[in-house]
Structure formats: C-alpha cells, structure tokens
Amino acid sequence: MTQGHNYFTDSEGRRAAKPDHDVEIYIWARTQAPDGMELKDWRRIIRRRAGDLPPEAALEAEVNELAEGLSALVKAPLWEDAYTGPALLEGQAAGEFFNQLLAHNVSFPRSPWVEDEGVKKNFHAGTFAGRLGRRIVSPLISAADDPALSEFEGAPLIGHYEIDDEGIPAQRVELIAHGILKDLLMSRSPVKERLTSNGHGRGAIWELPTAHISNLIIEAQKTATAEELKKELLKQAAEFGLEYAVIIRRIGEEDDKENAEDTLSHPVMVYKVFLDGKEELVRNAEFAGMTLRALRDIVLAGDKRRVYNYYQLGPYLSSRGQTQASIIHPDVLLAEIELKKSEKKPERLPHLKHPYFSN
C-alpha cells in the first residue's frame, strides 16, 4: 500500500496536485508436477483506495480458486500436439491479450531522438504509431481511452485520473473505429502525425513521461453469449477437421515472458474442448508464431465485458516502470492460433518434503 501526492509546475504557469494512492493484494503460489515441471499462478487485486477492496469472503474465494486451479494443473496431462485452429480467450486471458498486443502498441508512439541508435534498443516503442488510418484489429472492434471514468458497472477502474504527469487535463481519445486506427495517445513529445498532448503523458516517478493508456474501452459490433461463443468455437474446430478446440483462461503477465522478443506471454490455463463439449485441462503448451495478426483474427466477442485492472509496463526496458491502467474488454474468439509443446526442461524434484506438508 502506498499513499502520496504528486505536485507539478512548469515554466508555462501550469500547476497541479494529484493523489498517488495504490493498494494491492498479490496472491502467488508455486509448485511442481510429479515430473518436475514448475507450475505457478497468481492473482492481483489492485485498487486506488483500501475501501474499494473486495470483502474478505471474495478474497478468500480468490485464494481457493487459485489453489484448486494449481492443484488441478499438477495432475493435468502434458500437451503433446502441434495445434492450429480456433481458440476462445476468456477472463484474464482476454485482458492480458488486449494488454500485450493492443494496449502496449497504441502507447509509447515516439522513440527517443538520440545519436547512438543502440540506445533505442532499451526503449520499446508502440508498433501502431506509424499505422494511423490503417486497420490494426478486426473490423468488429472499436476502442476508446477515457481517463475520466472511475468505474464500469460498479467495478473500480484504477486507470482513472484528471490531470496527467505533464500537467495536461485528461481527455477521451477515440482510438479505433471498426478496426481502423483513428488517433494516437499523446504526451507532450510530438510525432509527425500529432503535435500536441491529449493528456496521456504518464510514467514511473524516475522516468520521463510517455503516452500510456488509462482506461482502454474495447467494444465489439458482433457479440454472443458465453454458450454461443463455445458453440461457435466447436463449429469452427469441426470445420478445421479437428477433434477438439482450445479455451485459454489465463495467460502470463507481460514481464513473465520467456523471451523479450515474444509477442505474448505463455498460456497458463489451457483447456482442450472436445466436440461433445467436454473440457480437459492440460499443461506444457506454448504459443507458436503468435504475431499482432491475432488482433485481426477476432471473429466474435462475448456480450459481457469485464474490468482488467493491472500495471502497464513502461517502454524503458532497463527499468520497466509501471503505471496504473484498466482495460474494459469482452471474451474473444480467434479464428486461428498455433500451440506447440513447450521445450522448457523440468526441474529436479526436492529430496525432502516441505515441512508444512510432511505430516
């Protein structure tokens, strides 16, 4: 838990003061499967104020869900196949998908202007800055970023603020319309397409502000109920000639990537869904060939949207400072992804039992 205030003044006469409060409950667990494979999962509950935290019963339910899921993963069979086919991303997996593929790439539009080009390797600029007016996601998807929102359907949004870190009032930005990038998030560092800030200059306290998302609102023009999404998933799997489809319910966070060049972190909770509807949890699956094209492969979205509160990593790879951000998103059905067997070697099992479980 942190509490503080940021004060801003500049030579143009701007003065601002804003609270910088943060409350996080981080639940984390790690174990090993009988073959030595290391398994882990976590939950983050992030709020601006302690009074916004869920009640104790809800937190206990989160802990139990984490423990039960990890225990099931220990007993799950290994993923052995090479899979190409449709996939349904639900819950946290959909939120992290939109974070790593969309939110990151509409943020940080400008690379540093430096003489040593090697320095730029330490700054991960957003890929979509140079694609204004072009399609970057499925035509079913539109998106806006609105710092003024403090909640969505009763759920707190930690990306809310009124003034950014450069003293500019926050503004709503209509980012994407039917898949086409219409505008950019801007700090006071100009780019060729946009010369002025729209109130999105933020960063960690030791970093220069850059353009970050605040509350990224994803809307879909074609939606379906959870039951209809699963039905369409299995229909597309049958058209692929497959015996099963894939549902992914949890994906690793951005700083949990095995390799810095990976587009998306590894999947954590992966389920085979057979054509009769039966689900089987598996472990040891990895994305293969995942690119930004996955955003254009969205063919259907859920009719209910969720709030994903998280810390968005900054562009400076040496420090990876973070800012509070929220994504309002639906579950999404992707027309095609590739999964493969992980090549990561299992760890040795401990020689002694953990003292807590020894009896």
Q: What is the pLDDT of residues 219-228, one digit of tens each?
A: 999 999 999 9
Please calculate the CA angle 158-134-217 and round it to the nearest 5 degrees. 20
pTM confidence score: 0.92
How confident is the model at residue 108, as a pLDDT? 85
- With a cut of 80, say whether residue 110 has pLDDT above it: no
Instruction: Choose the weakest-confidence range: 170-174, 305-309, 321-325.
Output: 321-325
pLDDT at 338 over 80: yes
CA distances from residue 73 to 64, 94, 145, 268 in whole angstroms, order as listed = 14, 20, 36, 9
Instruction: Copy the structure tokens of residue 304.
Output: 């209910």
Torsion of CA 257, 258, 264, 270, to 10 degrees: -100
pLDDT digits (tens, 9 = 90+) for 164-204: 988 899 999 999 999 999 999 999 888 888 889 999 999 88
The pLDDT confidence band at residue 327, using thresholds 50, 70 and 90, is very high
Confidence (pLDDT) at 318 = 67
Task: For the chain, give the longest Cα–Cα distance.
Answer: 68
Q: Can you tell me the mean pLDDT for 206-231?
A: 93
Q: Is 73 left (phi over 0), alpha (psi -120 to 50) or beta?
A: alpha
For the chain, the average pLDDT equals 90
Give me the pLDDT at residue 319, please. 64
Say how far apart CA 165 and CA 202 lie, in whole Å: 5
- Confidence (pLDDT) at 8: 73
**Least confident piece of the model among 88-92, 112-116, 222-226, 264-268:** 112-116
| Highest-pLDDT range among 20-24, 205-209, 246-250, 260-264 | 246-250
Q: Is the pLDDT of residue 359 over 70?
A: no
Task: pLDDT band for 112, please (50, 70, 90 cuts).
Answer: low
| Mean pLDDT confidence for 37-41 | 92
Strand partners, 201: 211
- State yes or no: pLDDT of 63 exceeds 80: yes
Calpha distance 309→301 (Å, rounded):
20
- Record the tokens describing residue 309, joined without a space: 């509160």
Q: What is the DSSP string of 199-267?
A: S-EE--TTS--EE--SEEEEEESSEE-HHHHHHHHHHHHHHTT-SEEEEEEEE--GGG-SSTT-SSPPE
The secondary structure of residue 79, as a DSSP letter, is P
Host H or E run for residue 298: strand 298-313
At 1, the pLDDT band (50, 70, 90 cuts) reads: low
Phi-psi region of 167 (alpha: psi -120 to 50; beta: other; left: phi over 0): left
